[in-house]
A and B are shown apart, each in its own frame.
Chain A
Amino acid sequence: MESFLNALVSGLISGSLYAAMALGLTIIYGISRIFNFGHGVIALIGAYIAWIFVQNSKIADTSLLLGILVAIVFLFLLGFLLYRYTMNPLMKKPNWEISTVLFMLGLGILLENVILQIFGPRVKSIPVFKEGNIRIGMVQINWHEIIIIFIVILAIFLLNLFFKHTRSGQAMRAVAQSIPGAKVVGIDIEKIFGYTFGLAFVVTGISGILLGTKYYMNPHIGWEWMVKGFVIVCFGGLGSTNGAIYAALILGVVEALATLFLSAMWVWPIWFAIFMIVLLIRPQGILGGRV
């Protein structure tokens, strides 16, 4: 019982990390219909920027905060400019779907190898926010994980606020629901797509930082994160943010229970099997809604 409960909790923790990871993918897809095949490396860029700051200072807490801020600004600009100067011209051509997929893949590999050149192949990790454990009943949980969950919940809350109550957020939802409608009411959809990429890259970068504190990172780990993100967004329904969150939590728990009752070796085959079953039975995902 105790190990079961602990597995459940640790599944929920990694599930919330996966949710943060998948949000960026599903936001971009839901609004612009572009699928970001360079998603993993964007998360890595966030994580490595934070790592630089933590690495070169003695006061770890404030420098981590500074690193996160720098990563946010950098990734927003990267997303906005990337949309504007690459995706936007590609979107205007009839074969945009395949060209954006191949472009982002190519860019992902390019950036992965740039990271490899700069930081080398060695495994790195970002120090935890706060050491120490607490015990709640039978469940053992450490402070760092509590903070991670808190950050993820806060991020989801802020995103919801943004989508509901700001003009840009409403415009993003409008574009997701009807592009002609959005144009008719005077929304500059290219600008909104640019903001969408910026926002999604920021969310993705933060998820990369969180993953970098909980697990480890190297220049190639982005692909593994991304593939998990793929399965989550398909499971939750492409373009649905709520779906992605539920799917991530479910898959996180499934992963933890599989590790407990079978072995860690079974984790990947199970992810793949879930993916296949979802596509065969319910390709629109568990919710099948939109942003």
Chain B
Amino acid sequence: MWITGTGALSCAGRNPGELWESLLAEKSGLIEGLGRVADLSPDAPADLALSMALETARQAMGQAGWSHLNEDDGIIIATTTGQILMWDQALLHFFKDQADPESFRRAFAHQPLGQLLNTLTESLGSRTPHRWLLTSACTASTQALIMGALWIRQKKVKRCLVGSVEVLCDLTVQGFRSLQLLSNETARPFDRDRKGINLSEGAAFVCLEGQNPGPRALAEVRGWGLTTDAFSMTSPEAEGRGSYRAMKQALETAKLAPNEIDWIHAHGTGSMHNDAAEGQAVRALFGAKSPPLTSTKAIHGHLLAASGLLETVIGVEALKRQTVLGTANVQNIDETTGANVLVKSEPRPLRHIMKNTLGFGGANAALVLSRVGDRA
């Protein structure tokens, strides 16, 4: 499977190039621990989720040279918030007897997360019936990319537009705060002085094709793994066994040995439980000589469902530029995690990289991305 187009919109940049420059310069887009996307086009739809998704989808499709989605193309979107900004305030007004039932009904029609998928597909001018919407928390967009690859392999669709979008809203901001996971300071993944995670909004899209697209190819999706902890609703299994199995599956489907992975882009949220479990999973799979591992969430924050795909776009840029990124804002590496944390960005030959993701509900997913032309 080949990635032929990417799009990214976050507090750290309006496209993959801007995001990459922010990452290299360690210029965080977070303000007081939250990452907001500002300055959308004046003619963008009022619906922030739809607006961000449309802009980012068009970036990816433009780069891939896709003018439209055909009826035998697929589209997969991942989100946990969807169009919540279109209905959450209406619900609150309704509770306070400040909204009439009809206006509330109209607003509340946006509540099913899948509604975003239909609106986006139609806004892209497509009538494809091949539409999936995944909601598996922070793992959703990595799952979406994997499912897109499998969908194409099974010849159910010819190409697939895979995207993800998240908005900041009361539900997630106050919800994560209630779990005491949020930090008002910029996150410090894998740092022993970590304070918590930073939520952010944004979108990421990739165009996925099954037949070798020649010079249009940006990277190859070569391996994948999907597993579940069955342990806790909100914490990963303490030793990271589920994450270990996902990364192991990804190596097996890629037909690669652990020592052939040149870089790991970690989930690295900066929560104590995530860092510990992910570090142990990496150590168990790759051993003492594990490849360097990086979290970039101090720059763009945690985009929840969109994080895996945004970080996949970063991985594509890293392969293209043959450069690994450092873990911004880390000062005192937490050695107890066992991870080989990379602090500073540097040029480095990259053939194969691992993107790892963990999520609430115990969902794990891992990807192996390869440089174009590196299939043995």
Q: Do A and B come from one complex?
A: no
